[in-house]
Structure 1
Amino acid sequence: MEPNYLEIGKRLQEARKSANMSQQDLANLMNVSSSYVKNTERGGKPSISYLFTVANNCSVSFDWLLTGTHTSLDLKQIPNSNEETEDLLDNLRNILNTADPDIRIWAKVQLQKMFGEYLPAKK
């Protein structure tokens, strides 16, 4: 699954406008030029730092920025069979093995946020 940067850019712009921020306001938060913000909103590849800044300052989720959907925990959707669990793990492996390093980093950060307390400490 390759990210659709044009659609991501549209959502970045929508989030910024919903937060009543100008491109310059967002650029100032990140210490980048307003042309960088304009480029990402037109479909340029955003950095992970940029996505964090928008998510944190515009009250949107990474899920929505990257996919356009909001996700929430629905207990009815939690896998309850070995086949469903294997499908879920296959999807996770695909995300973590994607060629795009930004997506891999994003996935690792999200997993750490969600399951950090259950993961073994690094030595």
Structure 2
Amino acid sequence: MLKQVHLNTLGNRLLFLRQSTQLTLQRLAKQTGLSSSNLSRYEKDEVKPTADAIVTLCTFYQITTDWLLLGPQQSKTQPETLTVFDSDLQKMIGILQQLMLGGDPDLRGWAKIQFQKAFNDYYTAAAEKKHQA
């Protein structure tokens, strides 16, 4: 069952991003270099992150500072949202997100190559469509 998520505060947006990538606070801390206690306090809206922390988190999640600071209603750029009801597909997307957002560039490259090999026809069609746009 999908949970209703309110993105009305910076903390809620950070919590949403972490949970949607299926990361623990400890894993996120390790991958970003930020302390898990600070990350927890940011998510609870107990303290505001520093400018450096905001840049680190936006880079890690590949989102704009505009979206993180202002929220989706006031931001000009919104991350794409995807509602997935199939549990197997949810697991696959979660694994892909972890691979792509993780800090290992070799693993990220491997995942891209494997995805392209497995879905070559779709990958090629999507690349051509993007090139034509």
TM-score calculated relative to the size of structure 2: 0.44
TM-score calculated relative to the size of structure 1: 0.47
